[in-house]
Chains A and B, each alone.
Chain A
Amino acid sequence: MRSFASAPLLGLWFAFLALPFAGWRGALWTGLACAALVAAARTLGRVLRAEPVARRLAMAQEAIGESWEFMLRGTRDWRVAALVLLGLVAFPWVLDRYKTDVLVVAGIYVMLSLGLNVVVGFAGLLDLGYVAFYAVGAYSYALLSTWYGLSFWPGLLGGAALAAVFGILLGIPVLRLRGDYLAIVTLGFGEIIRIVLNNWDDVTRGPNGILGIGRPHLGDFRFSQPMHFFYLVLALCLITMFIVGRLNRSRIGRAWAAMREDESAAECMGVNLVHAKLLAFAFGASWAGLGGVVFAAKQTFVSPESFAFFESVIILCMVVLGGMGSVPGVVLGALILVALPEALRELTLFRPMILGGAMVLMMVMRPRGFLRERGLRLAEGALPPGVPREEGR
């Protein structure tokens, strides 16, 4: 009961603070409201901490993660994979335009979070300015398209390549930085890119943005409907998952994981940290570049406000919530964080609060996110059958 005793005291304190501004009546209400809020928060905390509730919530979350993984694992069988693919292909025929468009956005975020997962999840380098590479991809295609009329497909490669170059440009100065320091420098890098885009009027047209970006063509076929972009993004997401997964289960993925666990021990074991870090930055950034090009082609318009710091935070949330280092987990995290705000659309003003509350709850219940990374970082079939599977992971 001790914790509840502080509620009236806190109320009294806030009433006292409010007195000069709000008068007697205002102070009274402020005090009562504070006391009530504190008591409510304490009660909620107590209920959540009560074993069965907490366990049930954590179990529910685990169940979501596990069933998601089970579903994905099922796709190793080509018949299941074909069925799932058929289901995905049918989506835009069942859903309306708006929902299809939301799925396109979700797909772009899946690519972005898979890319960030390479840097943060695999290699353990905290990057708070990841949206900068998204911006580089989007603007490079926007400029190449409006100036030179470059078409989408070479633009896709160009945007990814340029983002990779920027990844290396960021990587070189931060080679020696770790943890908090790295986070601050990457944060600054993200802001620099946004501010340059906002102020370099001659090239980027500043806050007005760039209009009239070309849409993709395939021969005579022109991508215009959300449905068309859905298939494009779906294909790119599948390619991303495939490539990122394979890289993780190889010599390169092992080097990244070793670097994440213990940098200097990894270097002593033959992992060249310069190569490993630059590869992680460049490779991670190239997916953001791809996503940026798709985004620019879909919107036909880009402006700096799409690339605010908050975007980096959201993408990082997707990675952390889904489970750092786990490819299926990160995909799930991205889908949830795009779907949740849509599901809560009716609640308008309360949306950010509920979203924030849900994130806090989920992280308190399962700090590792929905799915832990698991499985050996090894090509499937390279493990001889006789290896004893003791303890496992």
Chain B
Amino acid sequence: MSAAPLLECRALTRRFGGLVALDALHLEVRPAEVVGLIGPNGAGKTTAFNVVTGIHPPTAGEVSFEGRSVVGLRPSAVLQRGIARTFQNIRLFRGMTALENALVGRHARLRTGPLGAILRSRRVVEEERAAVDFAMELLRFTGIERHALARADSLSYGDQRRAEIARALASEPRLLLLDEPAAGMNPREKGVLNELILAIRDRGVTVLLIEHDMRVVMGISDRVVVLDHGQKIAEGPPDAVRRDPRVLEAYLGSAHA
């Protein structure tokens, strides 16, 4: 537990007008961990993702990744640094194939410029070939290889979630942010997803995971962080968090605490 944090948020605050979506959040994610981020609706979980990935600038506070600040970077630059994400409401490039989606995810790791694309030298073709191999390997890893050339919007719901994960992994991130990956999945698919997330961690990718499904979060997280009204109300191993009175109160109301 003493390893230097991979991601560190210090006093991270984000306001939307009068609404405080994130209130002085402290969050640490250490390498090779799976951290679950939970909390009732509107607790600020997705906002935390959006601030970390550069979609919203923080109102105050600091985000550092591998010891360097990522505040003020464009989302594409944050991805370049090694943080990739998926979206709560699936946002694949619908008209493109699953393979092309993964290749777009690889964009930041490819070098070909306009001139190279036109001249298409041997180096460029090699790069494309390697990119396709890598993308295909990820589609195999996430279990949708046979749909590689199907349009993204023709995939089943669960496969679309997997395609999003493949697309995010294509940039070879060191931290993967998953926003409700199990939403809309049936129990069998959730089981497969659990395995997949653990396999992602075994590839050396740290995972920060927003999830409502307690069996998923509690089953695979090394540590769980609970948000409510933009504040961290609890943190610790799944079993301890599950019994924490403040967590029960946030979820069920004070009568149950």
Contact B128–A268 (Cβ < 8 Å):
no
A272 engages B74 (CB within 8 Å): yes
B184 in the interface (beta carbon within 8 A):
no
Picked from A264, A269, A273, the residue with its CB within 8 Å of the CB of B79 is A269
Task: Give the total of A residues in contact with B, Cβ under 8 Å.
Answer: 41
Contact with A along B94-109 (1 / 0, CB 8 A): 1111011001110111
CA distance A387 to B129 in the complex (A): 13
Contact assessment for A252 and B117 in the assembled complex, using a CB-CB cutoff below 8 Å = yes
Nearest CB of B to A176, in Å: 13
Shortest C-beta distance, A320 to chain B (Å), equals 16
Q: A262 and B147: CB pair below 8 A?
A: no
Instruction: Say which residue of B91, B125, B131, B149 sits within 8 Å of A391 (CB atoms).
Output: B149
Count B-side interface residues using an 8 Å CB cutoff: 53
Q: Known interface pairs A257-B93, A261-B95, A268-B55. Does A387 touch B149 (Cβ–Cβ under 8 Å)?
A: yes
The answer to whether B149 touches A266 (Cβ under 8 A) is no
What residue of chain A has the Cβ atom nearest to residue B154's Cβ? A391
Residues of A with C-beta under 8 A to B105:
269-270
Q: Which of A63-71, A147-155, A243-251 contacts B (4 or more CB under 8 A)?
A: A243-251
Chain A residues 376 to 393 lying within 8 A of chain B, measured CB to CB, are: 376-379, 381-384, 387-393
With the chains together, A378 CA to B101 CA distance in Å? 12
In chain B, what residue has the closest Cβ to A325?
B95
Q: Could you say which of A246, A382, A391 has the most chain B C-beta atoms within 10 Å of its C-beta?
A: A382
Q: Judging by beta carbons under 8 Å apart, are A268 and B53 in contact?
A: yes
Query: Is A251 within 8 A of B117, CB to CB?
Result: yes
Q: Is B167 a contact partner of A269 (Cβ separation < 8 A)?
A: yes
Give the distance in Å from the alpha carbon of A274 to the alpha carbon of B75 in the complex: 12
Considering the complex, give the chain A residue whose CB is closest to the CB of B133: A384
Q: Does A297 contact B (CB under 8 A)?
A: no
A277 in the interface (beta carbon within 8 A) = no
Minimum distance in angstroms from A277 CB to a CB of chain B: 12
Cβ contact within 8 Å between A267 and B133: no
Asked whether A378 lies within 8 Å of B128 as measured between CB atoms, the reply is yes
Contact present for A246 and B91 (CB under 8 Å): no
Tell whether, in the assembled complex, residue A387 and residue B85 are in contact, meaning their CB atoms are under 8 Å apart.
no
New contact pairs (13) apart from A250-B128, A376-B100, CB-CB < 8 Å: A246-B120, A250-B124, A257-B95, A258-B96, A261-B94, A262-B91, A268-B53, A270-B108, A271-B104, A283-B114, A379-B120, A382-B131, A382-B132
Question: Which residues of chain A have a CB within 8 Å of any CB of chain B?
Answer: 243, 246-247, 250-255, 257-258, 261-262, 264-274, 279, 283, 376-379, 381-384, 387-393
The 3 A-B pairs at the shortest CB distance, nearest first, are namely: A270-B108, A250-B117, A261-B93
Q: List 28 A-B contacts (CB under 8 A).
A: A246-B118, A247-B114, A250-B124, A250-B128, A251-B112, A252-B113, A254-B104, A257-B96, A258-B93, A258-B96, A258-B107, A261-B96, A262-B91, A264-B55, A265-B92, A266-B104, A269-B84, A270-B79, A376-B97, A381-B125, A382-B128, A382-B129, A384-B129, A384-B133, A387-B149, A388-B145, A388-B149, A391-B149
